């Protein structure tokens, strides 16, 4: 297949190091220059008069941004709070659900590692049990839904499901899973959607999913500064949300109790609408089509060079290439290999281990070009044989 045509001028919107092929946008994003400048103006305002910045109208400014961002993801602005990232939102959820000994928290084996760590800590604290549902590498919607449904027991209290899986770059049928949990459990079990990658690439209005909790990052695919995420909470849970940090706003209740924590740097949140402006200026659908096509092109070029078979594409701006079984999927080995690829080839990639297998994850964003993937395809086979 051929690569898509670059979007005119899109590469000039970013300050990325031109000597590096940046193929890991899904990890930390890349903040457009216009958004960097908007945030710097906010920093200048803050440092020019900190007392005024933090004491005159800041909560109203945050609420205004929250309403704007909530509308973008189709969430109820009164039931949505700005938080730093998806991990923070998930920790808030785990701290707000009342677990008893032997209660069960269900995740899939496609879940994010930091979420697993947070679940493990919750289980140590409460006596709850973490159960992991095994799902194939490239499942269809019915397979995923059936696997979750079959894993539910009378002790299930929380089901955590990814809308886009970080390690395997798959889209999971969140709405069907929520429906299955409701049919099995009623209100006995809550559903938390880890939508870290969803804002900007999926058209799934949060309010229509029916989940109890949803958290999504805007710094990955919506061009916001890092440290910008949304936590959406169903009405039945809003009075039970527990803040990780207690501050003067605790009495305000959700969402204000999560958003106002004193001398915090709020400039990423306040600059986030500029990121949406950049995305809309390029054309949201245009960006999605371009990135999905470029990610698929990159996957095929690199897989062809390695002689690897790849799972079916999903229309995402992220794809995976399974590396040979001889390449270790252990965390330390994966981290060392990723560093070697960066240092020796000048290519930043995502690299994870899944069921002991090393998976190369390739992202595509409007600043990428076909030659970025070609550079990796030319150098990676030799690097892996050394």
Q: Assess whether 218 and 329 both reside in one domain.
A: no
- Residues forming beta bridges with residue 83, ordered by sequence position: 229
**214 and 173 within one domain:** yes
Rounded-to-5 percentages of helix, strand, coil across the chain: 45, 15, 35
Would 1 be classed as within a structural domain? no
Please tell me whether residues 136 and 226 are part of one structural domain. Answer: yes
Q: Is residue 3 part of a domain?
A: no
At CB < 8 A and 24+ separation, what contacts does 6-11 make?
6/290, 6/366, 6/369, 7/282, 7/286, 7/287, 7/290, 7/366, 10/282, 10/366, 10/367, 11/366, 11/367, 11/369
For the entire predicted model, the pTM comes to: 0.96
**Residue 301 shares a structural domain with residue 368:** yes
Determine, yes or no, domain membership for 366: yes
Task: Out of 277, 293, 317, pick the residue that ends a domain.
Answer: 277
Domain boundary among 255, 277, 299: 277
* Residues 258, 236 within the same domain: yes
d(CA 166, CA 293): 19
Flag the least confident range among 20-24, 172-176, 222-226, 246-250. Answer: 246-250
pLDDT tens per residue, range 282-341? 999 999 999 999 999 999 999 999 999 998 888 999 999 999 999 999 999 999 999 999
Domain identity same for 158 and 266: yes
Domain count, the chain: 2
Check whether residue 96 and residue 211 sit in a common domain: yes
What proportion of the chain, given as a percentage, has pLDDT over 70? 100
What is the CATH number for 197? 3.40.640.10
- 40 and 21 in a common domain: no
Residues 233 and 121 in one domain: yes
Asked if residue 255 has a cis previous peptide bond (ω within 30° of 0), the answer is yes
Q: What is the pLDDT, as a whole number, of residue 250? A: 87
Q: Is 22 part of any domain?
A: yes
Say if residue 169 is in the same domain as residue 318.
Answer: no
3-state secondary structure of 5: coil
- Please spell the DSSP secondary structure of 323-382, one letter per residue: PPTTSB-SHHHHHHHHHHHHHHH-EE-EEEEETTEEEEEEE--TT--HHHHHHHHHHHHH
Residue 375 sits in a domain whose CATH number is 3.90.1150.10
Q: Does 5 reside within a domain?
A: no
**Rg of the chain (C-alpha set):** 21
Backbone angles phi, psi at 203, to 5 degrees: -100, 75
Backbone angles phi, psi at 102, to 5 degrees: 80, -5
Give the per-residue pLDDT at 174.
98
Distance CA 338, CA 279 (A): 29
Q: Are residues 292 and 355 in the same domain?
A: yes
Handedness of CA 378, 303, 351, 354 (dihedral sign): negative
* pLDDT of 254 higher than 80: yes
Query: What is the phi/psi pair of residue 17, to 5°?
Result: -60, 115
Q: Are 157 and 237 in contact (CB under 8 A)?
A: no
Per-residue pLDDT at 247 exceeds 90: no
Q: DSSP letters along 263-324, please? A: S---HHHHHHHHHHHHHHHH-HHHHHHHHHHHHHHHHHHHHHHHT---PPP-S-SEEEEEPP
Segment 116-120 shows an average pLDDT of 98
Q: How confident is the model at residue 245 (pLDDT cuts 50, 70, 90)?
A: confident
Burial class (CB in 10 A: 0-12, 13-18, 19+), 384: middle
Helix orientation angle between 284-306 and 370-385, rounded to the nearest 10 degrees: 30
Domain boundary among 277, 304, 326: 277
Does any domain span residue 210? yes
Place of tokens 């140590």: 124
The answer to whether residues 124 and 270 belong to one domain is yes
Specify burial of residue 63 (Cβ count, 10 A radius: 0-12, 13-18, 19+).
middle
Q: Is residue 348 part of a domain?
A: yes
Q: Which domain holds residue 368?
A: 10-30+283-385
Domain-embedded: residue 102: yes
User: What does the pLDDT look like over 4-51, one tens digit per residue?
Assistant: 999 999 999 999 999 999 999 999 999 999 999 999 999 999 999 999
Whether the pLDDT of residue 262 is over 90: the answer is no
């Amino acid at each position: 297949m051929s690569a898509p045509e670059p979007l005119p001028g899109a590469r000039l919107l970013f300050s990325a190091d031109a000597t590096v092929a940046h193929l890991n946008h899904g990890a930390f994003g890349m903040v457009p220059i216009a958004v960097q400048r908007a945030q710097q103006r906010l920093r200048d305002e803050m440092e020019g008069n900190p007392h005024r910045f933090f004491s005159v109208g800041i909560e109203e400014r945050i609420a205004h941004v929250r309403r704007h961002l909530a509308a973008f993801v189709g969430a109820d602005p009164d039931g949505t709070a700005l938080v730093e990232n998806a991990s923070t939102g998930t920790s808030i959820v785990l701290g707000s659900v009342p677990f008893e000994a032997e209660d069960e928290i269900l995740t899939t084996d496609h879940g994010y590692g930091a979420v697993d760590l947070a679940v493990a800590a919750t289980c140590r604290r409460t006596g709850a049990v973490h159960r992991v549902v095994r799902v194939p590498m490239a499942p269809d919607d019915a397979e995923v839904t059936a696997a979750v449904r079959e894993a539910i027991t009378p002790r299930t209290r929380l089901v955590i499901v990814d809308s886009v899986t970080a390690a395997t770059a798959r889209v999971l049928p969140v709405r069907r899973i929520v429906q299955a949990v409701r049919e099995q459990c009623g209100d006995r079990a809550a559903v938390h959607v880890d939508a870290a990658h969803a804002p900007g690439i999926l058209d799934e209005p949060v309010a229509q999913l029916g989940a109890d909790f949803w958290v999504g990052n805007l710094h990955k695919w919506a061009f916001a500064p890092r440290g910008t995420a949304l936590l959406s909470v169903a009405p039945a849970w809003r009075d039970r949300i527990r803040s990780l940090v207690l501050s003067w706003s605790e009495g305000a209740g959700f969402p204000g109790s999560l958003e106002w924590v004193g001398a915090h740097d709020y400039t990423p949140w306040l600059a986030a609408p500029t990121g949406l402006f950049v995305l809309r200026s390029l054309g949201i659908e245009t960006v999605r089509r371009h990135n999905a096509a470029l990610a698929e092109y990159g996957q095929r070029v690199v897989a062809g060079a390695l002689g690897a078979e790849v799972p079916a594409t999903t229309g995402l701006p992220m794809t995976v290439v399974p590396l040979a079984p001889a390449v270790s999927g252990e965390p330390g080995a994966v981290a060392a290999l990723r560093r070697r690829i960066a240092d020796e080839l000048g290519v930043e990639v995502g690299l994870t281990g899944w069921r002991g297998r090393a998976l190369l994850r390739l992202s595509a964003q409007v600043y990428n070009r076909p030659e970025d993937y070609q550079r990796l395809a030319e150098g990676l086979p030799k690097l892996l044989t050394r």
